């Protein structure tokens, strides 16, 4: 298939998906927000009639005692709970199966996902496996492969980045093949989300920066794509504005509750935007660098974002120019091309000032072809990007990322 025919195929597929998306349930999570909101969650769980829940988190958060106040309120509300804290930074198929076994073995009725993107992904995939006990994770990869209702999911983010509390996506690593399995289905979307800035006050600066740039990547990729709605455009612009106004403050002053709260909201809005409008090649490449080398997802997105925006060139200038205005850059009298390039330059400036590297030392030349194949398998024909990327272009871009 020549390039023009391939591009036509991708655009046709995306057009069909845009129409199909209109029949899906896009109900957004019910929010509990503000300082101390996590203490209100057990009351909500009790009101819904649940008295036994699985808590999915990681050992780092357990060691920081971030869950203690929630545990106390669960006990006060006579809600039994069992904890799965084995989630790895890129949750694996084994993590999902271990969590599922705990849920079933303890008669749990609902799931609390507590943490960053990894516990969220683990909890969602665990729910998918509970709903589809005869379907293994790799066979749920892609779109609408779960379908059946999962146990009610309560999401408590402790980073302002992934937006997983608002999305229908879960990403699970396969350590045997070094692949990431992206599962996308509306049934995975949490029913309730808790945005409590107090849970993010202790985040180290490098986690604040990379998760914040992850949220920006969600907003930007959603906005410049070709499957937006009025709501996704509004949420993507609002997220972009809030991230530019608050991320570096949160990075420099981690105890600033207002900046932390604004970043949580920005991450949530970006999550709403991309869960309907999709992401793009930044994520496709980042997922596969994460699968191959264990590079944290937020860090990967932060580094890759400006390179992919450069690749899109004039196909993205108008939309990036609009984001430059939203971000408050000094764009008076500038052309769309100039504004777009200012926006990309500002992303690079933010990365540099927050000690995010420009390139990756882990990438090996011998892996690039496989990484490109896997990235394009994820990205094409699904992601409605401004410009379709082929294998040679993907290989060239990944080479640009090598230190």
Report CA-CA distances (Å) from 110 to 36, 49, 335.
22, 10, 52
Q: What is the pLDDT of residue 177?
A: 87
Report CA-CA distances (Å) from 12 to 4, 5, 142, 255, 333.
12, 10, 18, 48, 37
**H-state helical runs in 278-390:** 281-293, 297-312, 317-326, 336-353, 365-379
Third-level CATH fold of 3-21+206-400? Dehydroquinate synthase-like, alpha domain (1.20.1090)
Contacts of 372 (CB under 8 A, 6+ apart): 391, 394, 395, 398
Alpha carbon 59 to chain centroid, angstroms: 21
Is residue 39 classed exposed, middle or buried when 0-12, 13-18 and 19+ CB atoms within 10 A define those classes? middle
Q: What is the pLDDT of residue 178?
A: 85
Q: What is the pLDDT of residue 107?
A: 98
Q: What would be the CATH architecture of the domain defined by 34-200?
A: 3-Layer(aba) Sandwich (3.40)
Cα Rg, the chain, nearest whole Å: 20
Cβ atoms 128, 141 nearer than 8 A = no
Q: Where are the domains of the chain?
A: 3-21+206-400, 34-200
Q: What is the pLDDT of residue 248?
A: 98
What tokens were used for 317?
């200038």
> DSSP code of 125?
H
Q: What angle do CA 270, 274, 280 make, to 5 degrees?
A: 120
What tokens were used for 153?
């999911």
> DSSP code of 166?
G
Burial 298-335 (b: 16+ CB within 10 A, else e): bbbbbbbbbbbbebbeeebbebbbbbbebbebebeebe
**Could you tell me the pTM of the whole model?**
0.95
Is the torsion defined by CA of 311, 315, 321, 323 positive or negative?
Answer: negative
Q: What is the pLDDT of residue 1?
A: 75
Please tell me the distance from the alpha carbon of residue 389 to that of residue 368, in angstroms, as a whole number. Answer: 15
Low-confidence ranges of the chain (pLDDT < 50): none
Please tell me the distance from the alpha carbon of residue 347 to that of residue 370, in angstroms, as a whole number. Answer: 28
> DSSP code of 194?
E
Alpha carbon 245 to chain centroid, angstroms: 20
Please tell me the distance from the alpha carbon of residue 84 to that of residue 125, in angstroms, as a whole number. Answer: 14
Q: Residue with structure tokens 């909890």?
A: 123
What tokens were used for 203?
């985040």
Report CA-CA distances (Å) from 186 to 70, 114, 137, 145, 163.
27, 20, 16, 10, 15
- Concatenated DSSP letters for 39-96? GGHHHHHHHTT--EEEEE-BHHHHHTTTTHHHHHHHHHTT-EEEEE-B--SS-BHHHH
Residues 322-380 have pLDDT tens digits of: 999 999 999 999 999 999 999 999 999 999 999 999 999 999 999 999 999 999 999 99
């Amino acid at each position: 298939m020549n390039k023009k025919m391939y591009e036509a195929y991708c655009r046709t597929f995306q057009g069909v998906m845009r129409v199909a998306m209109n029949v899906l349930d896009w109900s957004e999570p019910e929010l509990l927000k503000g300082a101390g909101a996590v203490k209100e969650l057990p009351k909500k769980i009790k009101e819904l009639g649940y008295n036994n829940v699985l808590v999915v988190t990681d050992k780092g958060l357990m060691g920081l005692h971030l869950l203690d106040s929630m545990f106390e309120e669960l006990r006060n509300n006579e809600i039994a709970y069992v904890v799965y804290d084995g989630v790895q930074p890129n949750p694996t198929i084994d993590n999902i199966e271990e969590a599922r076994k705990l849920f079933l073995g303890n008669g749990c009725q609902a799931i609390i996902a507590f943490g960053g993107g990894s516990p969220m992904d683990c909890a969602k995939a665990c729910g998918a496996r509970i709903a589809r006990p005869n379907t293994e994770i790799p066979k749920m990869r892609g779109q609408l492969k779960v379908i059946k209702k999962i146990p009610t999911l309560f999401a408590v983010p402790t980073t302002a980045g992934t937006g997983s509390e608002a999305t229908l996506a879960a990403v699970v690593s396969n350590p045997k093949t070094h692949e990431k399995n992206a599962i996308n289905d509306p049934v995975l979307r949490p029913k309730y989300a808790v945005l409590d800035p107090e849970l993010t006050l202790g985040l180290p600066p490098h986690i604040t920066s990379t998760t914040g740039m992850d949220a920006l990547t969600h907003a930007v990729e959603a906005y410049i794509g070709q499957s937006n709605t009025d709501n996704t455009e509004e949420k993507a612009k609002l997220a972009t504005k809030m991230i530019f106004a608050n991320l570096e403050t949160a990075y420099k002053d981690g105890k600033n509750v207002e900046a932390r709260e604004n970043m949580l909201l920005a991450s949530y809005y970006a999550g709403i935007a991309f869960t309907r409008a999709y992401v793009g090649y930044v994520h496709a490449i980042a997922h596969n660098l994460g699968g191959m080398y264990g590079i944290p997802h937020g860090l990967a997105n932060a580094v890759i974002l400006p390179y992919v925006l450069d690749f899109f060139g004039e196909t993205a200038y108008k939309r990036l120019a609009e984001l430059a205005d939203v971000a408050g850059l000094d764009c008076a009298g500038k052309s769309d091309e100039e504004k777009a390039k200012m926006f990309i330059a500002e992303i690079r400036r933010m990365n540099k000032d927050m000690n995010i590297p420009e390139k990756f030392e882990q990438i090996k030349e011998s892996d690039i072809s496989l990484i490109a194949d896997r990235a394009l398998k994820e990205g094409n024909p699904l992601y409605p990007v401004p410009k379709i990327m082929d294998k040679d272009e993907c290989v060239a871009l990944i080479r640009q990322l090598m230190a």
